Amino acid sequence: MSVSEMFAALQGALGQDQDIREEIRKVVQALEQTAREILTLLQGVHQGPGFQHIPKKCQKAREHFGTVRTQMEALKTKFPADQYYRFHEHWRFVLQRLVFLAAFVVYLESETLVTREAVAEILGIEADRERGFHLDIEDYLSGVLTLASELARLAVNSVTAGDYSRPLRISTFINELDSGFRLLNLKNDSLRKRYDGLKYDVKKIEEVVYDLSIRGLNKEATVGGGGEK
């Protein structure tokens, strides 16, 4: 084979790879749009009246996740099943965002931490990497850390809305989350950096709880029976 023939074959392979990436990009763009719609919907809980409509907003968000599952099915067909990590960078960010959104919905519904398996089911993908397109552990953890930041914001806005018990419950949850992360030996630089930000979320929530305490509002919250979820 001549040099020109060799490079012509290489160009063919590069062209095929580029085509795959372009097809992936189109589906990822659709996923990003759906994620923005879910985020816009859930952001309403930060507004005063939004606390009264949490169940309805979560239900609508769940409906949007039906679209996510359909889009995930399309994404799975765009590349060879054994080349997940070759193209992982294309959907890594949006997948982490979707993990956060699923975790936020579950927290708003039950004030519990969603499992990786449950997130995978919500998104219509696998939890086990051996079964194909799956939810990578680091992507799951990154989404959970984004949840922590969102809950720190929710704690502040809860006080503004007159819900004094919610920040206390958020504080308990975030401290348990922080304890959980301390059990991990994080070696991924990006994930480690994001985890370092968790201490600021913990501090922010502690300041909210402290402010409630010195104003005597934490006692009011306890007497009130825990508030509405």
**Which residues fall within 8 angstroms of residue 223, CB to CB, at 6 or more apart?**
none
Per-residue pLDDT, 186? 84
Domain ranges of the chain: 9-135, 136-219
pTM, full prediction: 0.89
Q: Answer yes or no: is 150 a known binding residue.
A: yes
The CATH architecture to which 9-135 belongs is: Up-down Bundle (1.20)
Per-residue pLDDT, 3? 84
The 8 Å CB, 24+ separation contacts for 182-191 are 184/141, 188/138, 190/142, 191/138, 191/141, 191/142, 191/145
Per-residue pLDDT, 134? 96
Per-residue pLDDT, 71? 97
How far, in Å, CA of 56 to CA of 59, rounded? 5
Per-residue pLDDT, 226? 45
**Residue-averaged pLDDT of the chain:** 90
What are the structure tokens assigned to 101, written together?
């959104």
End-to-end CA distance of the chain, in Å?
Answer: 70
* pLDDT, averaged in runs of 10, over the chain (229 residues): 81 82 96 98 86 91 98 95 92 97 97 97 94 94 96 93 91 96 86 90 94 79 50
CATH superfamily, domain 136-219, is Translin; domain 2 (1.20.58.200)
Query: 9-135 and 136-219: same fold?
Result: yes
